[in-house]
C-alpha cells in the first residue's frame, strides 16, 4: 500500500503526490488547476517565477473546497534572496495566492550565481523564513 502522506518534523502531513504548476500559464491556467483538483490533487507546487500563484489561488477558491484541505508550496526566486527580498517576495506570493499562509516555503535556487555571496544570501533568506513562520 502506498503512503499518501509524509509527516514533516513539525507534525504537518504533506501529500506525497503534488501537481506542479510550471508552464500551466501557457494555457487556461485556472481551468487546468481546477481539472487537477477535480481528479484529486490537493498538493500544489507553485512559484513567483512560474507566474502561476494567482491562478492557483483563484482555482482553489473556485473549487469550493476549504483552503485547509490543500497543501500549497511556493518558492522565493534567486533574484529575491536576502532578508528584505525574501520577506517582500513572500508577502507578494501571499497576495497573489489570496491566502493567509502557505504550507511550505522554499528557496527556489539556493546558489543564484558564482559572483554573489550565496552563502550569506541563503542565511539571510532563511532568517526571513523563520520570522514568517513564527509570525503566523
Q: Which residues are catalytic?
A: 50
> Rounded to whole angstroms, how far apart are CA atoms 73 and 53?
10
Pairing type for strands 43-45 and 5-7 reads: unpaired
> Rounded to whole angstroms, how far apart are CA atoms 93 and 97?
6
Q: How far does Cα 36 stand from its chain's mean position?
A: 16
Overall residue count recorded for the chain in this entry: 136
Q: Which three cell numbers stand for residue 80?
A: 529575491
In this structure, what is the dihedral angle of CA atoms 31, 20, 44, 39, given to the nearest 10 degrees?
Answer: 50
Amino acid at each position: 500500500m502506498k503512503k499518501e502522506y509524509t509527516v514533516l518534523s513539525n507534525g504537518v502531513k504533506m501529500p506525497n503526490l503534488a501537481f506542479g504548476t510550471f508552464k500551466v500559464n501557457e494555457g487556461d491556467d485556472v481551468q487546468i488547476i481546477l481539472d487537477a483538483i477535480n481528479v484529486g490533487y490537493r498538493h500544489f507546487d507553485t512559484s513567483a517565477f512560474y507566474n502561476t500563484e494567482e491562478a492557483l489561488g483563484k482555482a482553489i477558491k473556485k473549487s469550493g473546497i476549504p483552503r485547509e484541505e490543500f497543501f500549497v508550496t511556493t518558492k522565493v526566486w534567486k533574484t529575491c534572496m536576502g532578508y528584505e527580498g525574501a520577506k517582500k517576495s513572500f508577502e507578494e506570493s501571499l497576495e497573489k495566492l489570496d491566502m493567509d499562509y502557505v504550507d511550505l516555503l522554499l528557496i527556489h535556487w539556493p546558489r543564484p550565481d558564482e559572483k554573489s555571496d550565496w552563502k550569506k544570501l541563503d542565511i539571510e533568506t532563511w532568517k526571513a523564513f523563520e520570522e514568517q513562520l513564527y509570525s503566523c
